[in-house]
Amino acid sequence: MINILYCLDENYNNQLSVSLLSLLENIDEKLSIYIIHKSESNSNFLPEKIKYHRNIDTISVFKFFKNIENFPKLNKAHVSEATYYRLFINEYLPKEIDFLLYLDPDVFCTNNPIKYVYQLINEMENKDFDIAAYPEILRKSDSEKLFQKLNMSNNEYFNAGVMLINFKNWLEKGINQKLVNLIDDLSEDIQFWDQDILNSFFDGKYLKLPKSYNYVVNLFYNCDEERKFDLENICKENVFVHFAGSHKPWTPVGILSKTAEIYQDIYRKLYKQKYHLIHKWKVNSLKTFKHAFIDGKLSELKYPLSFTSIFFKTLIFNKNRNI
């Protein structure tokens, strides 16, 4: 049985549910789900459609109890302290677990990963790898500074949004404490939070995942480019789609991308709204709406009238959110 791990706070409860449903609907066997949460200690916050899904074996929720407010680069970041929780998984998860598939809650499944995950587990066992991850950044002139700051000697930097973890090795080698020790050493040079810590520590010594297992969509940089992509092919050719960056498929800028439908379509199956919409900064949201209206992008949405209604309701009644 595959074990799945998420780490999050209350701002990502809905996104977690969508991520879970996307996974559960694409597989053909039961899963054990583990959640390390900032404020929840049981699964009551999850929709019944998740808790009683046919492919759920167990759901275990652990409330994070350590104080990590002083961890680097959290002030005014689009991520929360929960990004560091996975450095402490040894303090929460059952020791009998051998392997874990870690997913960020902004990662969504489009095809069945199970068969390949079992293949990866066998390869990791045979070659004694501690993790498997997708190398997102190659060492080039424009990225050299990142590698130097993290004291990395290899030429690849992985994205930690999808990781297969050899938890048995994690415990036996005391990896968590080694990672925590690195935080003080790198605190002034960290840019991408615990992902930098993980890359500095493993420094190329990991099993490489294919891009299809962590297909990164960065709406902040590639929103216009993503709108040109064939959504059907993205879903067909990839297994996990990862919405990295500060703009997400539930923010005004993100929703204008066709790829946002990967998220919004599953959201509609769980909740009774046509769109999940969160405003990070309301003034910026209004500017985005104005440009989308002028450029005709609103009419390209699946439900433009519903989006407009939800946009102004959430703008008036909801507070700005750190997402």
What is the spatial distance between Cα 131 and Cα 158, in angstroms, rounded to a whole number? 11
* pLDDT tens digits for range 42-98: 999 999 999 999 999 999 999 999 877 677 666 655 567 888 999 999 999 999 999
pLDDT at 226 over 60: no
pLDDT top residue among 189 and 106:
106
**211-216: average pLDDT:** 97
Exposed, middle or buried: residue 36 (CB in 10 Å: 0-12, 13-18, 19+)? buried
CATH number of the domain where residue 97 is located? 3.90.550.10
Residue 226 included in any domain? no
Residue 228 domain-assigned (yes or no): no
Residues 40, 92, single domain; the answer is yes
DSSP classification of residue 178: H
Least confident of 130-139, 211-220, 302-311, 314-323: 314-323
Q: Are residues 61 and 157 in the same domain?
A: yes
Residue entry with tokens 């450095």: 87
- Of 188, 213, 238, the position where a domain reaches its end is 213
Tell whether the torsion through CA atoms of 251, 245, 90 and 118 is positive or negative. Answer: positive
The answer to the question of residue 238 being in a domain is no
Q: Would you call 138 helix, strand, or coil by DSSP?
A: strand
Same domain, 208 and 251: no
Q: How far apart are CA 203 and CA 47, in angstroms?
A: 39
In a 10 Å sphere around its CB, with 0-12 CB exposed, 13-18 middle and 19+ buried, how is residue 189 labelled? middle
Judge if 288 and 172 occupy the same domain: no
Tokens of 151: 């004291």
Neighbours of 167 (CB within 10 A): 23
Q: What is the mean pLDDT of the chain?
A: 92
272 and 206 both lie in a single domain: no
Q: Is residue 231 part of a domain?
A: no
* Distance of alpha carbon 57 from alpha carbon 47, whole angstroms: 16
Q: Do the domain assignments include residue 221? A: no
Are residues 251 and 185 part of one domain? Answer: no
Q: Are 37 and 63 in contact (CB under 8 A)?
A: yes
Let me know if residue 275 belongs to a domain: yes
Judge if 313 and 266 occupy the same domain. Answer: yes
What is the residue range of 117's domain? Answer: 2-213
Residue that terminates a domain, selected from 193, 213, 233: 213
**How many structural domains does the chain have?**
2
313 shares a domain with 269: yes
Could you read off the pLDDT of 249-303 as tens digits, one per residue? Answer: 999 999 998 899 999 999 999 998 999 999 988 999 999 999 999 989 999 999 9
